[in-house]
Chain A
């Protein structure tokens, strides 16, 4: 994949070949090549939303699958994410201008005491790629930090990430506080991180545990759709 890189002139490829090449370049974490390809597709009249979903998100999905299957490892995922970020940076302002579809809004952060953020960042990026507005609270978030953001941002979804056995239980502290304040059901609560599992998600009262970013996107979409349906029924 990487060897013939130098010989390829991206602008000479037809659309289909270029998208295929973007999959390869994302896989290899080549940020500049991704940025160049995004610009080429824009010049060819592609809609920003189309580039985002058909090239970037689709390419990153392959990376996610190979990470899950143990073919790719953390550094490769980080480089791929970094390349995708380069493409997203070009598309983001254009997406707003062109009124790309909006799925909903998410507040996401890593819980108190934990500074693992690679997985959380990946989820945030893929959610953005799927059309969600994402407010990223970063790492080490105490209850108040989540509550403040929920109040000011009024998101559909609250996402919490934890990678340490010692920090996982803090998710329950946050959810219990939401219950105490009587606002738990105002939000869809999604949780994730390598040491978690479905059972844990249920036990702490989250709506769902998501194994990876692709599952997070699918779960978020279906919960948001359900929430809107329920709202429509009540109305």
Chain B
């Protein structure tokens, strides 16, 4: 199995059959339509659990920064793949769509992941909600976001062109919490460097795949 390249996951997503065996028309197979930021994690879960009945396709992860476009993009993907897959699961949380994605999924008759965003379901929605109150000055990064820090944080916030804006954005933040899905010293080092670039204290917290695994298991 080829792991997809992060830059492509960010801008283009992942085509059906690209990372796993090419999917033929398979009405009993389960198609996962996911955010590109979850591709590696989902493929890893599929492999480890032997979920051979699942196929994966991903939308460009960068939609993260334009959440108002997520519901339509998901709808198009669902329509596109309906012909080959009767069973579809949307691997997105609300992601800042203010309930619009949930409404779209309900209308299309497909299910999605519970929770507000990936920071929450990686940590476990219940746990995240319980700590959210005292931790609201934390800025979270997942494995994917650490690897794609420049594409998702640094450049969209214009910090490459206007470094003086850093303190306008982050004035009220106290720490960067790296929610580690995997144990990778190189990624931890990079996360630490991200914290330094943002002028924030650093904390590493191993989450594993959290509620993502349970959500897929029951999909």
Interface residues of A (CB under 8 A from B): 73-76, 78-79, 82, 113-115, 117-118, 139-140, 163-166, 168, 194-197, 200
Interface residues of B (CB under 8 A from A): 67-68, 94, 96-100, 116-117, 120, 129, 132-133, 136-137, 156-159, 161-162, 165, 168-169, 172-173
B98, A113: Cβ atoms closer than 8 Å:
no
* Further 10 A-B residue pairs, CB within 8 A, beyond A76-B158, A115-B137: A74-B157, A75-B158, A75-B165, A78-B165, A113-B132, A115-B136, A164-B116, A165-B116, A195-B99, A200-B99
A76 / chain B contacts, CB cutoff of 8 Å = 158
B157 / chain A contacts, CB cutoff of 8 Å = 74-75
Q: A163 CA to B136 CA in the complex, in Å?
A: 13
Could you jot down 15 A-B contacts, CB within 8 Å?
A73-B156, A75-B159, A75-B161, A75-B162, A114-B136, A115-B137, A115-B172, A165-B97, A165-B99, A165-B116, A194-B68, A195-B96, A195-B99, A197-B100, A200-B99
Q: A197 CA to B96 CA in the complex, in Å?
A: 12
Which of A79, A140, A194 sits near B165, CB closer than 8 Å?
A79
B159 / chain A contacts, CB cutoff of 8 Å = 75
A74, B158: Cβ atoms closer than 8 Å:
yes
A163 / chain B contacts, CB cutoff of 8 Å = 96
Contacts A75-B165, A113-B133, A115-B137 hold; do A165 and B94 have CB atoms under 8 A apart?
A: yes
Contacts A78-B168, A194-B96 hold; do A115 and B158 have CB atoms under 8 A apart?
A: no
B99 / chain A contacts, CB cutoff of 8 Å = 165, 195, 200
Q: A78 CA to B161 CA in the complex, in Å?
A: 13
Minimal beta-carbon separation of A210 from chain B (angstroms): 14
Q: A166 CA to B158 CA in the complex, in Å?
A: 26
Q: Counting chain B CB atoms within 10 Å of each CB, which of A73, A74, A166 scores highest?
A: A166
Closest A-chain residue to B66, C-beta based? Answer: A70
B98, A200: Cβ atoms closer than 8 Å:
yes
Minimal beta-carbon separation of A211 from chain B (angstroms): 11
A166, B132: Cβ atoms closer than 8 Å:
yes
Q: A44 CA to B156 CA in the complex, in Å?
A: 40
Q: A196 CA to B100 CA in the complex, in Å?
A: 10
Q: A193 CA to B98 CA in the complex, in Å?
A: 10
